[in-house]
Amino acid sequence: MGVVIIDGSTIRDFVNDEAQFNKSVDEAFTKLDLNNDGVLSRSELRKAFETLRLIETHFGVDVATAPEELTNLYDSIFDKFDCDQSGSVDLEEYRSELKKIMLAIADGLGSSPIQMALEDDDQGFIKQAADLEASKLPQQPSSAGP
């Protein structure tokens, strides 16, 4: 586990690095596309959002949520991603909505730095943004003696 300090510019720089952002989004999309048909179905996208536990916890304690409430939430998220209302989410739609979400996070953070504890094997977009920022920092010389 590592601790990172990020602010809105960390996220914004990640999104604005088009090659890195698109690579990350493409990899996430491929993992979510369980049947490899090139689009995300309602159930494939729901599985991804279920792992985020958007409304299922309250300060780390599980809270019972009516199944229809969860279905409504996940359906509304899917509808937001499915910009052309085709019944599936293609890579461009997925990329576009993730970009909006990440920029909204950046706006929410603003210039106030926050400290986050992230698992070393975390492949989420926040961790990737922090890693990209860290890769741009000058390397400190080793303090080991001869």
Residue 142 lies in a domain: no
Residue 140 lies in a domain: no
134, 37, 42, 22: which is closest to 88 by C-alpha?
42
pTM for the structure as a whole: 0.78
Domain that holds residue 105: 2-135
CA 80 to CA 99: how far, in whole Å?
Answer: 13
Report CA 133 to chain centroid distance, whole Å.
16
Helix (H, G, I), strand (E, B) or coil at 54: coil
Residue 146 lies in a domain: no
Residue 70 lies in a domain: yes
Residue 143 lies in a domain: no
Distant-in-sequence, close-in-space partners of 28: CB < 8 Å, separation ≥ 6: 98, 123, 125
Q: If you search the block for the tokens 């491929």, which residue do you land on?
A: 30
Instruction: Assign residue 42 the CATH number of its domain.
Output: 1.10.238.10
Residue 145 lies in a domain: no
pLDDT tens track for 18-34? 999 999 999 999 999 99
Tens place of pLDDT per residue across the chain (146 aa): 778 888 999 999 999 999 999 999 999 999 999 999 999 999 999 888 776 655 555 556 666 777 788 888 889 999 999 999 999 999 999 999 999 999 998 999 999 888 888 777 777 888 888 888 888 877 655 555 45
pLDDT value of position 15: 95
Residue 20 lies in a domain: yes
Amino acid at 26: D
Q: Strand ranges (DSSP E) for 7-113?
A: 39-40, 57-58, 61-62, 89-90
